[in-house]
Amino acid sequence: MQELITGANLALSQSQCLVKIKTKLAAHIGLDVTAYVLNAQAKVRGDADMIFYGQKQTPNRSVELVEATTKAPYIAQFNLNTQLFDADISKLAMCATIDGQGTINAIQDIQIELWENGQLTASATVKSAEKTEKALILAEVYRHKDQWKFRFVNQGFNGGLQPLAEHFGVEISDQATTPEPQPVPAPAPQPKINLSKITLDKRNNQINLQKQAHGFGEIKINLNWNQRTQQAQAGGFFKKLLNQNQGIDLDLGCLFEMQDGSKSVIQALGDRFGDFNGFPFIQLSADDRTGALTEGEWLRINGQHWSQIRRVVLFAFIYEGVPNWAETDAVVTIYVPDQPPIEIRLTEGQPLGMCGIVELVNQGGSIQVQRHVRYVPGHRELDQAFGFGLRWVAGSK
């Protein structure tokens, strides 16, 4: 394993590698990790070349961002495949920005690790106390002749996430909503990246997403969490990655009601995964059994058929482990095309096994997103709380 100093580089031994970014954050500090796919002019070709919390992969998955839900430690990981980089791509820049007030010296040292073929190839350390800037260009993977190399950059950047993104050529939208149409027909403007995030909490518990002329497209809901039980912490991070610790298994699901009055449930329990292209146009994509630095679980709604859906109630339940929501760091994020991500955190844990998190209601074709975060013992009580009237029997997965 090679320890890199600022400016040092080494050749990648294979096309697929991982770059891990590790630090510890105070509860009131956020860190935004981003990557920019750059051409020979060190600029993005378009918005799809910026990887961040609102767009976690390139269209061809040459770059993927995975983040843990905890802050101490905070761990982000870029999965890279240089074979999938287009011929006009010269570099990938990986960066970190403090979210909100403050500068990099407010956090602990940042560890950067390069992993190839399951082995730690190189590491580098950013001495955060020496940094007075708000952002950092941490490292880069770049093309040198016919070879790809990794370099530890460690370069400060004055300005927040938006100035950093604009430095690399990303066009940033100043509004979270779609601009009013012009009275005279004009060529459609290029879409702009929206860096906004919406957090629904007790005080701000509802938002309406207006009906789109072209439909809502693919609506994606992600559930992610991290095990922090004493037993799991003692086992270490990599044991959690290998699922060698037995901790909490959190499951994502939903109750749904169609416009014709039909109702049912989507969940891994009982293998009721649904269908994205057919009825009910809702599908559960994965069942994550670890919750440690993975993409978690995804549920997709086919927004092209939103007119056929009356409402969807998203829920999570603890399939295995002691009901202790406070230790899960669970977060649900809703991704709707052309809208900022909507985040709901389950931080008000009660010793009950299930949580009705958020309800999506069809209001004349728009989507009303209503936060509930209501804890109940089980499926029957959740059904009663939201008035579905389904018949429940014991099941397993």
For residue 204, the domain's CATH number is 2.60.60.30
- pLDDT of 213-233, one tens digit each? 777 889 999 998 864 444 444
Q: Are residues 79 and 203 in the same domain?
A: no
Q: Are residues 306 and 375 in the same domain?
A: yes
Q: Are residues 123 and 253 in the same domain?
A: no
Which tokens belong to 35? 């990557």
Nearest to 193 by CA among 36, 20, 19: 36
Name the DSSP class of 267: B
Q: Are residues 266 and 374 in the same domain?
A: yes
Q: Are residues 307 and 363 in the same domain?
A: yes
What does the pLDDT read at residue 394? 66
Q: Is 115 left (phi over 0), alpha (psi -120 to 50) or beta?
A: beta
Q: Is residue 182 part of a domain?
A: no
Q: Is residue 396 part of a domain?
A: no
Q: Are residues 40 and 164 in the same domain?
A: yes
Which tokens belong to 13? 């031994």
Q: Are residues 326 and 208 in the same domain?
A: yes
Residue carrying structure tokens 């005279």: 184
Q: Are residues 223 and 364 in the same domain?
A: yes
What does the pLDDT read at residue 327? 74
What does the pLDDT read at residue 180? 43
Please state the domain count of the chain: 2
Q: Is residue 183 part of a domain?
A: no
Band of pLDDT at residue 161, cut at 50, 70 and 90 = confident
Q: Are residues 139 and 262 in the same domain?
A: no
Q: Is residue 238 part of a domain?
A: no
CB 218 within 8 A of CB 325: no
Q: Are residues 266 and 368 in the same domain?
A: yes
Q: Are residues 76 and 141 in the same domain?
A: yes
Which residues are CB-contacts of 280 (< 8 A; sequence separation ≥ 6)?
A: 256, 258, 262, 264, 266, 274, 309
What does the pLDDT read at residue 191? 55
- pLDDT of 259-289, one tens digit each? 999 999 999 888 899 999 999 999 998 655 5
Structural domain harbouring 46: 2-168
What does the pLDDT read at residue 286? 60
Q: Is residue 395 part of a domain?
A: no
Last residue of a domain, one of 168, 187, 209: 168
What does the pLDDT read at residue 45? 92
Q: How far apart are CA 62 and CA 59, in angstroms?
A: 8
